[in-house]
């Protein structure tokens, strides 16, 4: 079956969905959003790719092991927590401040973003592991 | 040190994450798990010592002060339970090395194992009722995975039932927490205790208390909520079953102990009488099951039910002595039930069946294994020099002092029937002519069995050494103001 229309639309729309996911992720502290919903939206984009193409093609497009992604995500979340131990403050105490970066100027940074990044990676990893495992099952 | 309380949770959690990266190498997984279990025991022992020297440890996670953030609290009871958990974890790990085949073990088995320990240690340490729920879920999700791990037909069947009942009880848990939050406006356990002691609408609180009793009764296998247990626990391999038998129901018992001694003290006459009746019914139905079956696993499972009943009865008495007895009994029961499942697993491995009567005469070929059955029967029923004695003695003495003669007699009689049920295993499998089993190599299995049994014997013989710690734990339970002050102070 010719899926030209679906595939062309997918090629355009996937990037928009991923950008929307990134926007949701970074907006999380001041507006509705955050790691969980951003992870789901990103996984949604990859699932759209899976609908338009087959599993092997999508794997070659995004050569990531999603199970490892879960591990990396947990490591981020755990690392931000255990970072507190180095400074002898309670577990999961976050640090924040304004940092002058070249090009970007004055940016307010917070270690909670790293925790959120962990959540994001775990959500993407778990969702994609579930979908791919069920999809491959005969 | 500020973060002492987090280590029993953080160590297995870190290990689980690291193990996810090396699923391909079984050897690396075993080594890492073993090292982490050793470190966990050290952390537990250090925590007990710290609580003993410097008093209760608390940690305001994220540096938010007590009622607003999540507080982790380690009083002597939590510290002792965490230490016992880590010892059981090490023993189960060794048993898994020898009994779980490599194909199954390489499918994230040790990852789930570590996550289960995270859940149990977290539930023992937390000072926040919703956080308790979260750790319950961490523990239960890992237990679903471990229960179905291997994917045989019986495991699929029983995991389905186990999941349905636990999803139901978790939903009930959330609803109960919702009600409690609506009435008191807080989730921190110490703050809850303060708010409840000031509350005037105690009827609603009593209803909520009974909801919590149902929730924890479902997790901890109280009558009439234990019905899921004989089926679910007959499915998994022995190493997993020993882990479940040693830890899962005891988290339910701990939760009842914590909530009934700290939070729900508004109408002790009503709520604790209900708990006492349920406890005695649990003891009765537990021993009936233990006596009725000829299946070694079922006998051990109903022994858990009976022991949970004894502990719940100890909690319902609410005197310092009964608390002490309950803690004594709780700690030894965690160790002994794990050991019992190890032994039953080893016998079933040799005989190829769990049914008594199909084989006999193990004493000739496996003298050490047979005598461990004998020893565990004595320790479980509470024959004086062994570990089960002091706990039950204290509970029964407290019951006599409160004038609950009938209940005390039921508990005494239950010991006799527990002795009978385990002696039945000993007599029918170890005595008689040798038949129905093969010569198999079980030597490695003796390591965790003998380690746990000697721990239990030392615990019984060295009760004088352990007693100050347990008295300290019981004192905090009997007088919750210490707990409340140390959590809410600035």
pLDDT per 10-residue tile (average), chain A, 138 residues: 89 95 93 94 95 90 92 94 87 84 81 93 96 84
CB atoms within 10 A of CB B464: 8
Distance, in angstroms, between A50 CA and closest chain B CA?
Answer: 26
Q: Distance between CA atoms of B304 and B335, rounded to whole angstroms?
A: 12
A84 and chain B in contact, CB less than 8 A: yes
Q: Distance between CA atoms of B33 and B40, rounded to whole angstroms?
A: 10
Q: Three-state secondary structure along A59-128?
A: HHHCCCCHHHHHHHHHHHHHHHHHHHHHCCCCCCCCCEEEEEECCCEEEEEECHHHHHHHHHHHHHHHHH
> Which DSSP symbol is given to B433?
S
Distance, in angstroms, between A135 CA and closest chain B CA?
Answer: 19
In this complex, the residue of B14, B21, B60 whose CB is nearest that of residue A78 is B14
Q: Distance between CA atoms of B1 and A65, rounded to whole angstroms?
A: 39
Backbone angles phi, psi at B70, to 5 degrees: -85, 130
- B residues 53-112 closer than 8 Å to A (CB): 59-63
In this complex, the residue of B13, B21, B63 whose CB is nearest that of residue A71 is B21
Q: What is the full per-residue pLDDT of chain B (490 aa) written as tens digits?
A: 678 899 999 999 999 999 999 888 999 999 999 999 999 999 999 999 999 999 889 999 988 988 899 999 999 999 999 999 999 999 999 999 999 988 888 899 999 999 999 999 999 999 999 999 999 999 999 999 999 998 899 999 999 999 999 999 999 999 999 999 999 999 999 999 999 999 877 899 999 999 999 999 999 999 889 999 999 999 999 999 999 999 999 999 999 999 999 998 888 889 999 999 999 999 999 999 999 999 999 999 999 999 999 999 999 999 999 999 999 999 999 999 999 999 999 999 999 888 988 988 888 889 999 999 999 999 998 888 888 899 999 999 999 999 989 999 999 999 999 999 999 999 999 988 888 888 888 888 899 999 999 999 999 898 889 999 999 999 999 888 989 999 988 6
H or E element at residue B453: helix B443-461
Q: Distance between CA atoms of B88 and B448, rounded to whole angstroms?
A: 9
Q: What's the complex ipTM?
A: 0.92
Helix axes B405-430, B268-292, angle to 10 degrees: 20
**Chain B residues with CB-CB distance to A65 below 8 A:** none
Which residues are CB-neighbours of B131 under 8 A, at least 6 positions away?
B70, B122, B187
Number of CB pairs < 8 Å for A and B? Answer: 45
Q: Distance between CA atoms of B376 and B388, rounded to whole angstroms?
A: 10
Q: Is the peptide bond before B352 cis (omega within 30 degrees of 0)?
A: no
**Chain A residues with CB-CB distance to B1 below 8 A:** 88
Q: Distance between CA atoms of B342 and B346, rounded to whole angstroms?
A: 6
Spatial CA neighbour of A96 closest among A107, A83, A111: A111
DSSP E strand stretches across B146-264: none
Q: Do B2 and A89 touch (CB under 8 A)?
A: yes
Q: Do A91 and B6 touch (CB under 8 A)?
A: yes
Q: Distance between CA atoms of B367 and A11, rounded to whole angstroms?
A: 71
Q: Distance between CA atoms of A16 and B449, rounded to whole angstroms?
A: 59
- B226 with B285: CB under 8 angstroms? yes
Q: Is the dihedral of CA B406, B411, B416, B418 positive or negative?
A: positive
Residue in B closest to A88 by C-alpha: B2
Distance, in angstroms, between A80 CA and closest chain B CA?
Answer: 11
Q: Could you tell me whether strands A96-101 and A105-110 are parallel, antiparallel, or unpaired per DSSP bridges?
A: antiparallel
Q: Distance between CA atoms of B196 and B184, rounded to whole angstroms?
A: 7
Q: Distance between CA atoms of B372 and B353, rounded to whole angstroms?
A: 19
pLDDT of amino acid A88: 85
């Amino acid at each position: 079956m010719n899926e030209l229309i679906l595939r062309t639309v997918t090629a355009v729309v996937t990037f928009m969905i991923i950008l929307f996911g990134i926007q949701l992720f970074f907006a999380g502290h001041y507006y509705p959003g955050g790691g969980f919903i951003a992870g789901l939206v990103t996984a949604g984009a990859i699932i759209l790719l899976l609908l338009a193409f087959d599993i092997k093609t999508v794997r070659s497009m995004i050569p990531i092991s999603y199970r490892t992604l879960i591990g990396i995500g947990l490591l981020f979340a755990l690392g931000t927590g255990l970072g507190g131990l180095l400074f002898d403050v309670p577990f999961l105490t976050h640090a924040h401040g304004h940092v002058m970066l070249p090009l970007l100027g004055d940016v307010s940074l917070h270690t909670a973003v790293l925790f959120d990044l962990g959540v994001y990676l775990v959500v993407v990893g778990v969702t994609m592991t579930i979908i791919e495992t069920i999809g491959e099952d005969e | 040190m500020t973060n002492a309380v987090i280590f029993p949770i953080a160590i297995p959690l870190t290990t689980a994450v690291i193990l996810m990266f090396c699923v391909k190498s079984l050897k690396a997984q075993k080594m890492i798990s073993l090292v982490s279990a050793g470190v966990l025991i050290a952390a537990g022992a250090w925590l007990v010592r710290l609580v003993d020297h410097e008093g209760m440890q608390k940690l305001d996670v994220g540096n938010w002060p007590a009622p607003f953030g999540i507080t982790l609290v380690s009083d002597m009871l939590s510290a002792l339970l965490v230490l016992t958990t880590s010892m059981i974890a090490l023993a189960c790990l060794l048993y898994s090395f020898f009994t779980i085949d490599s194909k199954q073990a390489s499918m994230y088995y040790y990852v789930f194992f570590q996550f289960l320990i995270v859940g149990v240690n977290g539930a023992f340490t937390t000072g926040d009722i919703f956080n308790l729920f979260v750790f319950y879920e961490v523990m239960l999700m890992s237990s679903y995975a471990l229960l179905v791990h291997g994917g045989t037909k019986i495991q699929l069947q029983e995991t389905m039932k186990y999941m349905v009942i636990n999803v139901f009880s978790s939903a009930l848990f959330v609803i109960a927490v919702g009600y409690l939050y609506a009435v008191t406006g807080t989730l921190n356990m110490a703050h809850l205790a303060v708010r409840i002691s000031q509350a005037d609408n105690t009827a609603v609180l009593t209803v909520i208390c009974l909801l919590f009793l149902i929730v924890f009764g479902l997790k901890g296998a109280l009558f009439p909520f234990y019905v899921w247990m004989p089926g679910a626990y007959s499915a998994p391999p022995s190493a997993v079953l020993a882990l479940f038998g040693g830890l899962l129901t005891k988290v339910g018992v701990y939760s009842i102990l914590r909530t009934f001694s700290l939070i729900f003290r508004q109408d002790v006459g009503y709520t604790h009488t209900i708990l006492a009746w349920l406890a005695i019914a649990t003891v009765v139905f537990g021993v009936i099951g233990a006596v009725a079956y000829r299946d070694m696993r079922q006998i051990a499972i109903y022994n858990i039910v009976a022991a949970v009943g004894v502990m719940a009865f100890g909690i319902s008495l609410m005197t310092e002595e009964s608390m002490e007895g309950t803690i004594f009994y709780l700690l030894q029961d965690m160790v002994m039930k794990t050991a019992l499942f190890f032994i039953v697993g080893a016998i079933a491995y040799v005989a190829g069946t769990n049914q008594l009567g199909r084989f006999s005469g193990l004493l000739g070929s496996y003298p050490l294994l047979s005598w461990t059955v004998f020893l565990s029967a004595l320790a479980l029923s509470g024959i004086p020099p062994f570990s089960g004695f002091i706990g039950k003695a204290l509970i029964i003495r407290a019951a006599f002092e409160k004038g609950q003669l009938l209940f005390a007699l039921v508990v005494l009689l239950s010991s006799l029937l527990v002795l009978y049920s385990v002696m039945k295993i000993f007599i029918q499998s170890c005595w008689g002519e040798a038949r129905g089993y093969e010569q198999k190599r079980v030597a490695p299995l003796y390591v965790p069995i003998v380690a746990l049994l000697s721990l239990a014997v030392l615990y019984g013989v060295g009760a004088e050494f352990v007693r100050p710690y347990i008295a300290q734990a019981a004192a905090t339970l009997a007088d919750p103001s210490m707990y409340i002050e140390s959590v809410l102070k600035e």
